[in-house]
Amino acid sequence: VQLQASGGGLVQPGGSLRLSCAASGFTLDDYAIGWFRQAPGKEREGVACLSSSGRSTYYAESVEGRFTFSRDSARNTVYLQMNSLKPEDTAEYFCAAQRPPPFSTLVGCPSRADYWGQGTLVTVSS
């Protein structure tokens, strides 16, 4: 059972990257899923999160309009499309999944994730 994040790299300001987070051993459709990031010296923050129902997506104000969360159920994978990248987007990015209690829906970013992927580093620099 694991989450595997990938897609980070070095990109110039204004550029784009797409991060992937593939799950194995469990079905992402049953979970609330979040993309988090942590920059050096800063706390981890949720940037884009999908509710367990799949009906609502949260975006941090700092990325709203530039980042897009998507899910491919057939591939059991979620993506974070990042456009118009800025130097302040530089961070290690993580994906996380949290299963909701029975008969409940989790909205917002996972607060007690059951699974974390390893980080993938995004560096935005000229």
- Residue 80: name the closest of 116, 33, 29 by CA: 33
pLDDT higher than 90, residue 113: yes
Q: Is the CB of residue 71 less than 8 Å from the CB of residue 50?
A: yes
- CA–CA gap between residue 4 and residue 27 (Å, rounded): 13
- CA–CA gap between residue 68 and residue 46 (Å, rounded): 13
% of the chain surpassing 70 pLDDT: 100
> Residue 65: which pLDDT band, with cuts at 50, 70 and 90?
very high
> Residue 1: which pLDDT band, with cuts at 50, 70 and 90?
confident
Per-residue CA distances from 49 to 11, 14, 39, 45, 60 (Å): 23, 23, 18, 11, 9
What local confidence, expressed as pLDDT, does residue 103 receive?
87
Q: Could you tell me which residue, 120 or 107, shows the higher pLDDT?
A: 120
